[in-house]
Amino acid sequence: MTRNAWRWLLVFVLVPLAAWGQQSGTQDTGTATASAPARTTVNVYGSGVEDRPSLADAGFVHNFLFLGADLSSRYDDNVRQTNSGRIADTGFVVSPEIAFRHEGGRVALAFRYRPTLLFYRHETGYDEQDHDLGFDGSLRATERLSFRARTDVVDRTGLLQSFWEPAALPALGPPGHLNDTVITPFANEFENNSRADMTYEVSARAELGVFTTYMLRSFGQPAQPQVTLFETEGRSAGARYVYRTTARTTLGLVYTHEELHIGPRTRLGMDTPSVGLTLALSPNVVLDVYGGPVYTRLRDTILLPLDPLVTLAFPNDRNDWRWAAGGGVTLRSGQTQLRLSGSHEVSDGGGLLDAVTSEMAEASLERRLTRKWTVGWTAGWERNASLPSALLQGSLEGEYGRIVVRHSITERVSAEAGYQFQRQRESGPAPIGANFDRNFVYITLTYQFKNIPLGR
C-alpha cells in the first residue's frame, strides 16, 4: 500500500470516526455486551498467538468501538539510527487509534489500526510515518468445526512502542512468523504476517487443526546506497493437535513445513515437528515450553563472473538437522506480574543477513502501585548468527531495555513517561552501519473517546 493511500485512510476514516465518537451521546457502560458463550482454548505453542500477558489485558471492552489518540514529545539521541554521524533532536508524535472486538453468535471480529506521525524539530528529513494494522476474524461453522483468519500489516521506520500492547488484538506469533529480533536502520520496512486456521474439536479436551501462513518483508530505498537489504517472502503449512490432560496441563503436538525466499539467491526450507506444554503450576504461576528438531534445506546460488557479459551460476545445496526450543514463565502476585521468556529458532536474518539461528531472552516486570499508578520494566538480549552452511557468515547481537511509568489522570485521560534504549553490534558481512546505540526519553498523553456500542 502506498503512502498516499495511508494518508487518505487517515483522513477519511479516523478523523470522521473520532468526531462521531466524541459527539455521541451513548453512555459507556463499562461492561461487554452479552454474547453467546464461547469455549476457552489454552494458548499452547502452535496457536500462532504471541503470548504477552499484562495486568491491563482485562481493560478492553468487547462489543464496543474504541477510539483514542496519543500525543507524545520525545528526545532522541540518534535520529539517523547509526553511530556514524550521530544526530540528536526532539520530536513530536501524533498517534490516533481505532480498534474493536465484536463477539456474537457464531462470529467474532477484531480490528486495530494505529498510524504514527513523527515530526522532528530540526531534522525534518527524518520525519516518520508508520502504520500498524491488524484483523482477526473467526467463524464457528458447527458445534465442533471453526475457521479463523488473521493478518498483521506493519509499515515502520522507528523503534518506539508502548509498553502496554492493545488488548483488542494480540500479535501473531510462531510458528510461521518472520524474525523480529533484528533492527534494520537503513530504510522504511513493510511487513505482513497472515495466518488461516481450521480447527475441529474432537472432544471437550482435544482439538485437531491445520493452518497455513504467509510472510512478507520488503524495504524502501536505503538511506545508504551501498547497503544491500535482503527482502523475504515465505509460506508455511502445518497441523496441530492439542489435548488438555488435566485441569492445569495442556499438551500440544505441532508439525510445520516452511519455505522462505531470502534475497535473490537464498532459499531456506524447514520441516519442524515439535511438542508444546502449558502448565499452571498454581493459580498465579504458568509455565509454557516447546521444542523439537528442525530439518533444514538451504540453497544458495554462487555467481562466477567470467567477463562483463557472462556470469556462471552454480547452485549450492546443504541439508542439515538443527533444533528449536523456547518458552516462558509468568508469575502474578496481587498487583505484580513477572514474565521471563526465551527462544532458539532457525529463521530469516531480518534483512541484514540471510539464513540464521536466532536467539533471544527477555524479562519484563509490571507493577500496579495504586489504582492510578502503574510501572513497567523490560530488558532483553538478542543474537542472530548465520547458519554454518550459509555462504555469507556474520552475526548481529543486541540488547534493549525500557522503563515506563503510567498515571490515569481521569477516566479517559492518562499520561505515560518512559526511557528506552536499543543497542546492536555486527560482525562479518552484515552491512557497515548496522552498529548503533539509541536512547530516547518520552512523555505521552493518551485520550480515549467514548466507547461506541456495536450491538449484540
Q: Which domains does the chain have, with CATH numbers?
A: 3-23+40-453 (2.40.160)
pLDDT of residue 226: 62
How far apart CA 60 and CA 132 sit, in angstroms, is: 18
Return the residue matching grid coordinates 480490528.
111
pTM beyond 0.85: the answer is no
pLDDT of residue 169: 66
| Chain CA centroid to CA 291, Å | 21
Closest CA to 269 of 280, 257, 284: 257
- In the predicted model, what is the mean pLDDT of residues 77-83? 81
Cell representation of residue 274: 515439535
pLDDT at 5 over 60: no
Q: Tens digits of per-residue pLDDT, 102-152? A: 888 899 999 999 999 999 999 888 888 889 999 999 999 999 999 999 999
| DSSP letters for 257-316 | EEEEEETTTEEEEEEEEEEEEEEEEETTEEEEEEEEEEEEEEEEEEEEEEETTEEEEEEE
Alpha carbon of 254 to those of 197, 242, 257, 272, 343: distances in Å? Answer: 13, 9, 10, 8, 17
Neighbours of 69 (CB within 10 A): 17
- Per-residue confidence band for 38, with pLDDT thresholds at 50, 70 and 90: very low
Alpha carbon of 436 to those of 11, 162, 397: distances in Å? Answer: 35, 21, 11
Q: Tens digits of per-residue pLDDT, 382-410? A: 999 988 866 667 889 999 999 999 999 99
Alpha carbon of 163 to those of 58, 364, 365, 398, 416: distances in Å? Answer: 16, 10, 11, 19, 10
String of b and e for 71-100 (b: at least 16 CB within 10 Å)?
ebebebebbbbbbeeeeebebebebbbbbb
pLDDT at 177 over 90: no
